[in-house]
Amino acid sequence: MSLILIGANHKTAPLELRESLSFTPEEQGEILRSLLYPPDLDEALILSTCNRTEILAHGADVHVCMDRIRSLMISRSPQSVKELQEHIYVLVDFEAVRHLFSVASSMDSMVIGEPQILGQVKEAYRLAVKSGTAGPMLNRLLHHAFRVSKRVRTETDIGRGAVSVAYAAVEMARSIFQSLLEKTVLLVGAGEMIELAAKHLKERGVRKILVSNRTFSRAEALAAELGGEALEFESLGSQLHRADMVLSCTGSPTPLIGPEQVKKALKTRKNRPMFFIDIAVPRDVDPSVGDLENVFLYDLDDLQTVVENHRGQRQEELKKASAILEEETQRFCIWLDSLDAEPTIRALAQWAEQVRQSELQKSIQKLKTLNEKEKRTLDAMTRAIVSKLLHEPIVRIRQQGGKEGSAGYLEMARELFGLNGKAK
């Protein structure tokens, strides 16, 4: 039985490829269920964020799991198979476990220590559970990942003063404009990232904030909170000229702002510059907008400079967190390896119970004067004897499971107890 994780993230793949591999929450259920058919792949989960798409699976045949996940990714990517393979990583068992723990602990994030990723991992798990594709293995693995994340945050300062992608976006805006005080900022979207960005903008003294969201009531609520103005989503294009800076992060699968809308806005603004910071994946602003004169367009990958400055301050905490990560990965993998011994343990327990029942019935037939209470006493006594006799062998078999050379050890145990020929 193997754990497989295949993915692409901000370290291995450009934004264009990450866009093509992203999954919306609405489509994940059907795709997850399709991964499990035909059988051989038992459990699956998709983690799709602005910086990564990863598919985690569990199945009996590692090659079947790999082929099925790769086929799904190839079907969504416009790139050739060879090009795609240059940007994805394939991790198995120990490496897959360690990577998941690293992601959940925000050690693999673009912004080290940012708190949003744990919520995104939990949401991915929730969708897998809802879709019926998370079973015993992923349940145990994900809950262990949540505990590792909590331990890393409790025992290190990795999360203290941590920033977010939204913070990095606002810092970039601050580096573009000498002052944000008199600038008008248009926020497109009203999700967690935009809320965070709005909070940072207010802290920087921004006074004029416009909010446009597909659900107008959310735009109204956020605008009221910020002392800003809500815009009907349908009027986004016609109101674009009012913004000196547009910060966008929605879940739209296609761009919301195109070059023709921006050209009209620039004409109304008499060509005063416009800045766009697009932190959505897939992107909300058509990349060709960046080719227009007096337009400055930045996307997630452009935030890397701001993020690198932050990363330097986190190195010491990363070392402490890495030690926790190694310890917890070893702990989980010891349990994972012990699963190799479970079939032998079950066969041993079944054999012992058959022997006990057989000898017990023979004794009861010989001792015909036994009453029901005496029979129950005899039954309990034989159970206790069998349990004590098997305790040490079972502990040793479980300890050896998964270790180098364990196959020979398990085979010897089956031979000693006459278990060969019984179901493994």
Catalytic residues: 50
Give yes or no for a contact between 397 and 410, defined as CB atoms under 8 angstroms apart.
yes
Q: Tokens standing for 215? A: 């659900």
Plot region of 374 (φ>0 → left; ψ -120 to 50 → alpha; else → beta): alpha
Helix (H, G, I), strand (E, B) or coil at 275: strand
CA dist list (Å): 298 to 15, 225, 276, 314, 361: 12, 27, 6, 25, 80
Q: Following DSSP, what letter does each residue of 112-124 receive, concatenated?
A: TT-SHHHHHHHHH
Strand ordering across the sheet containing 245-248:
229-231, 208-212, 184-188, 245-248, 274-278, 295-299
What are the backbone dihedrals phi and psi of residue 177, each rounded to the nearest 5 degrees, phi first? -100, 135
Q: Tokens standing for 154? A: 């409790």
In the block, tokens 């012990």 appear at 338
Give yes or no for a contact between 15 and 57, defined as CB atoms under 8 angstroms apart.
no
**331-370 burial: b if 16+ Cβ within 10 Å, else e:** ebbeebbbebbebbbebbeebbeeebeeebeeeeeeeeee
Q: Kindly report the CA angle at 40 between 35 and 42, in degrees rounded to 5?
A: 65
